[in-house]
Chains A and B, each alone.
Chain A
Amino acid sequence: MIPRRYLTPVILSILPALSLSAPLSASEIDDLKAQMSVLMQRINKLEEKLQQGHQHHSSKHPQLAHSTHAKANAPTAVADAKNTPAPTPAEPYTRSGSDKVKLTLSGQINRAILFADDSKRNRVFHVENPTSPTIFQLNGEGSVNADTQIGANLSAEMASNPTSSINMYNQPDASSNAHFNTHSVEGYIKNVKYGQLWLGQGEPASFSATETDLSGTATVGLGPNADLIAGGLNYRTKSGGLGPKIGNTYSGMDGSGTTNRVRYDTPDYHGFSAGVSHMDGDSADAVLRYSGEIHKTQLQATVSALKQRGHYKQYTGMVSALFPNGLSLTAATGLRDIKIRGHKDAQLVYGKVGYLVDIWSLGKTAFAADMGQITSLLVNKDVARTYGIMALQNIDKVAAEVYLGLRWYHLKQRQAPSYKPIVATMLGTRIKF
């Protein structure tokens, strides 16, 4: 800003220059005078404001004087604020070349302490809980019209020391046992009337076929998928010999993991929806889902079929109900037709009882107990069983869950020495950021 004392010489020095460049008419001179008058008024106003600002600043100390001054000047300040033009909105940090898209970032962490005892040794592990893994996702979506969107997902799991790769011996350093796994790299188109079509790496239709669990404890006990809690641990024989891993002898028969595929899901029709996908390696799956509320009871059900070409065909059914009083019941069954000559079909049965309650203002508290059994998965007539009790506390204010689960694993094989049970206790937290 030019100080007032310098303004007049400046204007006087400009005027001769203007007069040299072109002769001015009387009306033009009048216009210039009028403009100067307006400018001088504005300068006067600005100087007054500046003076008021100095007074306000100098009266900051003592505090009492400052508050009195502020109160006294409050109407003036309001008036000034009204006269001052509204500030222009700040430019966004991220800018796009198109104004027809939306880009979002979301994610969570899920970390736990796992205490495991295989009847010969015990150990504490600091693990990634893969029931709902640490993940971040970028989603970009553009709107073709009100009913149709086209988008893309990029998501990656950061699995540091996942439970599937732990063991009692030769445990690698947790920091070197970290994996950056691609979860999805896919594009999609969705329409309100016609459903959604995905192309690329991502979740096939049967991905969560046996995860239909309304107990509220899925983070520490994902339906029949109990192998996720301590899948890397080996059974021990009575003499201390090393047996098979939990993850090789027990399976919740969940659908295929994320893979390269093309997938189509129908729109929701009164709670029903269906999906099919074709995967890399000429595998395919299909799923039918229901999700709704009947007489204030929440109900979810899923049936699925999966063909892993050259390996097996698998059929599952699962249903979960959450009653108005907080009680929940969950059941699942599955059959896997393994493509090995002479190998019997593997069969899964699973049941869970839960209770969801509002004890305090933190958030809902969930308790559950479950049992699962699978036969003939690794070898004919082997029986792998698991029992679990679990509790989960939601902490709504910080979008977190804290959970504790205790689980027993048993394995019986006809033509092998009997194995000792494995006990695993998991204490962890999932936080959405």
Chain B
Amino acid sequence: MRSFLLIAILTLAGCNDTKPLPYQHPQGIKSGPGVFSGEKGEFVLYQGDPFHQNHKD
């Protein structure tokens, strides 16, 4: 198991054309838009202005 891990890390480290992707969690709530919640996939029940501004940064 250790050698497998080491080989995997070295192989990935040696590749130039790589980019990280978000980890997919198939058992969780389906990713992406929702039929009612729209593009964000969640209903925003409340969002304060300072929170919004912080996330804009």
Q: Hey, which bits of chain A sit against chain B, CB under 8 A?
A: 92, 94-96, 98-108, 131-133, 135, 137, 139, 141-143, 145-146, 207-208, 211, 213-214, 218-219, 222-223, 268, 270-273, 288-296, 298, 300-301, 303, 315, 317, 396, 398-401, 430-433
Contacts and interface: CB of A to CB of B under 8 A. Distances in A.
Contact of B30 (A94, A315, A317, A399): A399
B22 A143 contact: no
Contacts of B21: 271, 291-293, 298
A103 B42 CA distance: 10
Given A105-B42, A218-B26, A303 B1 contact: yes
A69 B30 CA distance: 51
A108 B41 CA distance: 10
Given A432-B34, A432-B35, 7 more contacts: A106-B34, A106-B42, A131-B26, A211-B25, A289-B23, A292-B19, A399-B30
Contacts of B37: 106, 432-433
Interface size class of B (residues with CB under 8 A): 35 or more
Contacts of B18: 270-271, 292-294
Contacts of A294: 12, 15, 17-18
Most chain A Cβ neighbours within 10 Å, of B23, B26, B44, B54: B26
B20 A96 contact: no
B50 A132 contact: no
Interface string B23-57: 11111111011111100011111111111101101
B51 A132 contact: no
Contacts of A399: 30, 32-35, 41
A288 B23 CA distance: 12
A292 B48 contact: no
B55 to A, nearest CB: 7
Contact of B41 (A106, A213, A218): A106
A290 B50 CA distance: 34
Contacts of A95: 46
A377 to B, nearest CB: 20
A142 B37 CA distance: 21
Given A294-B17, A294-B18, A211 B46 contact: no
A135 B44 contact: no
B30 A108 contact: yes
A263 B43 CA distance: 27
B5 interface: yes
15 contacts: A101-B47, A102-B44, A105-B43, A108-B29, A131-B26, A132-B28, A207-B27, A223-B26, A271-B12, A291-B23, A292-B21, A298-B21, A317-B1, A399-B33, A433-B36
B46 A94 contact: yes
Contact of B26 (A100, A102, A222, A303): A222
Contacts of B48: 96, 98-102
